Structure 1
């Protein structure tokens, strides 16, 4: 293992040990700690490939509104705009731990095709404020962006941005013509089980965390399931997923495509979860779909 992986391994073991001790001493303490970990995304510096596109964008600010916890509202979120809307507008929504600039491979060809590209850093991501986030944060951020813009010709979302986009489209009736999802997640409960295994949480503590969060947010996790909500949508859709994705199995993308009436599905090989955003063939296929 390289030094970065060693540090991650040590940090994870420390977390597991700490949570195990907290669970023996105080279940409420362990529950609150586990919830905070579940809602806290990783922050990453902008890689060199993204810095130029970040600095080249027309940047703005929108504020969070309508989130279920008062302390989450009123926080500034960074918005980005590239190009002129000669042909229309395309919105992008990143995934967990990501940034709008992760779509940099799409920006130049979309702008060249006459589209203006707009994006937002979700709360606690990129240049946006906040320390905690969830699928609801993402969905509300997207709704704020699109309400501000009006009609959008296409929406491209990655990873957790996928179920957030589906939920926002199904519940807020946003004015979007076409939707492309890349490596979309599908089920918050499944993700919670994965995180619980990683942290060594027992089923009782995981179930208690889910109940606590559902109560605080005023929504059950099953209401956020990507396939169930996708069945309610009628926009033309393209789902792209890599068969070897280790973060979100391709079965998630397949299930969303099967549930979404008329959706197209394209499976790739050897691109994983993040490199798929930079693959020239994927970019070309998505832009072809955007152009109709």
Structure 2
């Protein structure tokens, strides 16, 4: 997914694959490819539980917390502020709603109430495994729970979920996508590259997704879904030093998302894009420009 050649020294991936796990997969493969592939597929659906950093605690403490059902699962909502308009934020893989800690205050100042969604199997929600379509279901359940959504802001794989939620009925006025992939197949490719796996595993995961979820998995990609959400204003923000999701993903999405605006930043990587002052100001300017 990432072809960047100008990675800065302070750009680090969101997580590192332990060498012990790579050795474990190699041992499984020695005995059986199917056994190794089944383990890898389970890993593909398993978020990493990170500890909530101290900088996000004030946002959590100052928010109203609700738990809502998402099918047989649950999502957690943190509502911050009480503006006349509503902005919803959803995080990326292995993230949490409190990553809106820097975004929420500037949106509240601009007149929004902010609802941050923590997806199933993330944060304190039960479960070990989930997938992008459950993120989308969490967004639709949020819409049913809170009513009108004026702005939807989504980070990383949450961006892919946002496109799928909107394309299948979630009503929003503005959509802001930050550091998100534009292709599901590229997500699979990146995952397998990180784990040093060959094309057999890519095909295995793709086949699993198409067997259990959707017959054409790439049809769920933002750059394909973009054609289905015409009329919604869009802003794409991506950093050129993002080594989790290469910025060419944003360029590809921008080309297929008619009328969207694109902001490419420098030196923020995959996560700091959520708290950078220039990015926050650009987002607020975009949302308040109608």
Partners in 2 of 1:284 and 1:128 — Cα distance? Answer: 31
State the match for 1:248 in structure 2.
245
Q: Give the C-alpha shift of residue 250 in structure 1.
A: 0.8
Q: Give the C-alpha shift of residue 219 in structure 1.
A: 4.0
Partners in 2 of 1:151 and 1:219 — Cα distance? Answer: 31
Please tell me whether the aligned partners of residues 154 and 162 of structure 2 are also in contact (alpha carbons under 8 angstroms). Answer: yes
State the match for 1:222 in structure 2.
218
- In the alignment, does 2:185 pair up with 1:179? no
Alignment of 1:40-119 (within 5 A): 40-65=46-71, 74-86=72-84, 88-119=85-116
Q: Give the C-alpha shift of residue 159 in structure 1.
A: 0.9
Partners in 1 of 2:35 and 2:115 — Cα distance? Answer: 41
Q: Which residue of the other structure, out of 185, 189, 202, is the alignment partner of 1:206?
A: 202
Partners in 2 of 1:110 and 1:212 — Cα distance? Answer: 40
Q: Give the C-alpha shift of residue 19 in structure 1.
A: 1.2
Q: Which region of structure 1 is more displaced relative to structure 2, 208-217 or 267-276?
A: 208-217
State the match for 1:258 in structure 2.
255
Partners in 1 of 2:129 and 2:20 — Cα distance? Answer: 21
Partners in 1 of 2:185 and 2:27 — Cα distance? Answer: 25
Deviations 1:107-161 (A, max 9, x none): 1121122211012111111122211121112111111111222211111111111
- In the alignment, does 2:138 pair up with 1:138? no
Please tell me whether the aligned partners of residues 156 and 180 of structure 1 are also in contact (alpha carbons under 8 angstroms). Answer: yes
Please tell me whether the aligned partners of residues 77 and 127 of structure 1 are also in contact (alpha carbons under 8 angstroms). Answer: no
Q: Secondary structure at the match of 1:272?
A: coil
Please tell me whether the aligned partners of residues 193 and 206 of structure 1 are also in contact (alpha carbons under 8 angstroms). Answer: yes
State the match for 1:192 in structure 2.
188
* TM-score, with structure 1 as normaliser: 0.89
State the match for 2:4 in structure 1.
none
Please tell me whether the aligned partners of residues 100 and 116 of structure 2 are also in contact (alpha carbons under 8 angstroms). Answer: no
Partners in 2 of 1:118 and 1:97 — Cα distance? Answer: 18
Structure 1 runs of 4+ aligned residues shifted over 4 Å read none
State the match for 1:39 in structure 2.
45
Q: Secondary structure at the match of 1:208?
A: helix
Deviations 1:24-79 (A, max 9, x none): 212332121011111111111111110111121100011121xxxxxxxx222211
Q: Which residue of the other structure, out of 264, 282, 285, is the alignment partner of 1:285?
A: 282
Number of aligned pairs?
A: 275
Please tell me whether the aligned partners of residues 240 and 264 of structure 2 are also in contact (alpha carbons under 8 angstroms). Answer: yes
The alignment's C-alpha RMSD in Å is: 1.7
Partners in 2 of 1:26 and 1:116 — Cα distance? Answer: 52
Partners in 2 of 1:198 and 1:266 — Cα distance? Answer: 27
- In the alignment, does 2:227 pair up with 1:231? yes
* TM-score, with structure 2 as normaliser: 0.90
Structure 2: gaps (5+ residues): 1-11
Q: Which has the higher helix share?
A: 1
Q: Secondary structure at the match of 2:101?
A: helix
Please tell me whether the aligned partners of residues 232 and 260 of structure 1 are also in contact (alpha carbons under 8 angstroms). Answer: no
